[in-house]
Amino acid sequence: MNTALATTTATTPALRRETPPLRHCSLAKPSVFRLNRVGFKSGVQTIGKSLLRISASNQSASAAVNVATNASIPSEMKAWVYGEYGGVDVLKLESNIAVPEVNDDQVLIKVVAAALNPVDAKRRQGKFKATDSPLPTVPGYDVAGVVVKVGSAVKDFKEGDEVYANVSEKALEGPKQSGSLAEYTAVEEKLLALKPKNIDFAQAAGLPLAIETADEGLVRTEFSAGKSILVLNGAGGVGSLAIQLAKHVYGASKVAATASTGKLELVRSLGADLAIDYTKENIEDLTEKFDVVFDAIGMCDKAVKVIKEGGKVVALTGAVTPPGFRFVVTSNGDVLKKLNPYIESGKVKPVVDPKGPFPFSRVADAFSYLETNHATGKVVVYPIP
């Protein structure tokens, strides 16, 4: 959508009944917010000279995390907020945002890590403001953290559980006003899964929206064992997972993927049988045809030229050329639960961009980097205090 950007008035619109409003706790003095430009390094595995791939590691998953108990949950928290649509400059780090209230079917999560997705940037830019939740917004879909409070109707999770989720069931239709780029977020039980035991919070945070998108795309194309697939943008957040799911979960007979020269080694390591350098080769020139093309870059017009008769193309962005189609992911904790065994066995691995994780103080920098469209895997924010 090419909806024009808009700014809000001083009056915040009324909020949806199911979304408690963001509220600023009163402070004795006005707060001044400054970004701390301190870098953050994490232990990761190096691939080649420029790529970093976070892989399953029991050691990295064992780090202790200090969280508040139910009795000591604060009334206010730090959170990134924007009160108008626009560029990265509308993002503000505030320290007096009220901790979200918890509905009967929700849990309150102490956020340990979060991740950014292209939809976060498009939402902030006002690309789908007609269906967005009211401003002001705490952005963020992906979360990994620890349950510190449970609603009265929650059955399968308890305080102390390490969980991860895509916090908004519908990415474009009324997504949560209070998202994951905060110290706390409230999430419906049906969207949650236990964090895989062999990965850490930073790794887990990079998975939910992207892996749900990859899986739903494969389901919608009726992908199954013995079929072939071409993944466009195989080194991206969704593409890197589409390769792995097609190969290691769905039993693809052949996986091809496009990437830039420096990322070919990465897509091969993820399971691509054929790595195509898009800077040197045009996919229309391929003599081979595929049962499915998973277009995660916006080249549907070219993708439809390399499918077999009766083949399918799923396009996540850009114009759609028939018979290609587009969908918007639905968050579902059952999908994460289904895929957890593959993650815990090491067959499916999270990929975190080498410039991260970004510390919480540098969320604006993380967005700026995401919006270069050159990220490898996921842009992760960790630690969140």
**Distance of alpha carbon 68 from alpha carbon 180, whole angstroms:** 17
Tokens of 234: 């195989």
Q: Which of 68-82, 155-169, 257-271 has the lowest mean pLDDT?
A: 68-82
**Distance of alpha carbon 266 from alpha carbon 301, whole angstroms:** 26
Percent of the chain with pLDDT over 70: 82
pLDDT band at 64 (very low <50, low <70, confident <90, very high): low
Summarised one tens digit per residue, pLDDT across range 294-316 is: 999 999 999 999 999 999 999 99
pLDDT band at 133 (very low <50, low <70, confident <90, very high): very high
Which CA distances in Å does 168 have to 203, 225, 255?
A: 19, 31, 31
Question: Could you tell me the CATH superfamily of domain 210-325?
Answer: NAD(P)-binding Rossmann-like Domain (3.40.50.720)
Higher pLDDT, 269 or 23: 269
Classify domain 76-195+352-381 at the CATH class level.
alpha beta
pLDDT band at 115 (very low <50, low <70, confident <90, very high): very high
Query: What pLDDT, on the 0 to 100 scale, is given for residue 302?
Result: 97
Whether residue 44 is predicted with pLDDT greater than 50 in this model: the reply is no
Query: What pLDDT, on the 0 to 100 scale, is given for residue 69?
Result: 63
pLDDT band at 43 (very low <50, low <70, confident <90, very high): very low
Contact 108, 119 (CB under 8 A): no
**Distance of alpha carbon 186 from alpha carbon 106, whole angstroms:** 6
Whether residue 55 is predicted with pLDDT greater than 80 in this model: the reply is no
Query: What is the model's pTM?
Result: 0.86
Query: Which H or E element spans position 343?
Result: helix 333-344
Percent of the chain with pLDDT over 90: 81
Whether residue 222 is predicted with pLDDT greater than 60 in this model: the reply is yes
**Distance of alpha carbon 36 from alpha carbon 57, whole angstroms:** 30
Whether residue 17 is predicted with pLDDT greater than 70 in this model: the reply is no
pLDDT band at 126 (very low <50, low <70, confident <90, very high): very high
Whether residue 26 is predicted with pLDDT greater than 90 in this model: the reply is no
Whether residue 172 is predicted with pLDDT greater than 50 in this model: the reply is yes
Q: Enumerate the domain spans of the chain.
A: 76-195+352-381, 210-325
What DSSP character marks residue 123?
H
Query: What pLDDT, on the 0 to 100 scale, is given for residue 372?
Result: 97
Contact 21, 101 (CB under 8 A): no
Is 210-325 the same fold as 76-195+352-381? no
**Distance of alpha carbon 143 from alpha carbon 289, whole angstroms:** 38
Whether residue 25 is predicted with pLDDT greater than 50 in this model: the reply is no
* Cβ contacts of 235 within 8 Å, gap of 6 or more: 257, 259, 260, 263, 266, 267, 351, 376, 377
pLDDT band at 23 (very low <50, low <70, confident <90, very high): low
**Distance of alpha carbon 78 from alpha carbon 182, whole angstroms:** 6
How many CA atoms within 13 Å lie on the side-chain side of 380?
Answer: 34
**Distance of alpha carbon 174 from alpha carbon 102, whole angstroms:** 18
- pLDDT, mean of residues 202-219: 98
**Distance of alpha carbon 287 from alpha carbon 121, whole angstroms:** 37
- pLDDT, mean of residues 141-166: 98
